Amino acid sequence: MTGYSTLHVTPGDDRVVVALNRPEQRNAINAAMVAELHRVCADIESHPRVLIVTGTGADFAAGADIAELRGRGRDEALAGINRSVFDRIASLPLPTIAAVEGNALGGGAELTYACDLRVAGAGARFGNPEPGLGILAAAGASYRLADLVGKSMAKQVILGARVIDAQTALRCGLVGEVVADGTALATACGWTDRIVRQSSLALRLSKAVLDAQSAHPLLDDIAQAVLFESPDKSERMTRFLERKTS
């Protein structure tokens, strides 16, 4: 996958690793990066794989590009420029992982919230300082962060201007693991090694039912019915039983 100016994209058979690549701007998310993230999503939608997102340099992403934001008006806000790509990432068929080093602030934090899983280096920090700039955290924080950490913590971050460190993020469930600085990507790749050993179809349907917005017993039953008829299920259970009796 070539032709990217704001991302470094490393595709593989079972995963795509994307590094936000504007280190001089602390990986601030601009319109060009949004367009390139849409390209990555289109590729993964056509050939489902795990997505790992990380940052180049010291930070994951220190926010959206303020110079661009300052020039945006009502029409750009209604277009949901950043929100639309984060929603698309959240809807990718297989699990997505944010490997966070340094600052994940503003739009950078919202990109991590859009991922299914997060691993943080010890120096990672998460926050949404948008109200201090006179705007809303409108790229998913208002509806994703409370789901991830509870409304009280979400209000502390968004309304109270609280920046939470890696250990606090671990305690409140925002991240699944805190690792030594510089090793978040390697840990995310290790998680992916474990994930891709599972059934791809079972992962896709499990993610769909987990992300459903209300109680959904019939949806669970339908998804299970599809899996019960899959050759992969029969093969995996046969291997399990053969190992158990050998």
Q: Which residues are marked as active site?
A: 110, 130
CA 118 to CA 143: how far, in whole Å? 17
CA 163 to CA 157: how far, in whole Å? 6
Angle CA 128–130–17, to nearest 5: 50
173: left (phi over 0), alpha (psi -120 to 50) or beta: left
Tell which residue, 69, 62, 86, has the closest CA to residue 31: 69
Residue 157 half-sphere exposure toward CB, CA atoms < 13 A: 30
CA 49 to CA 11: how far, in whole Å? 9
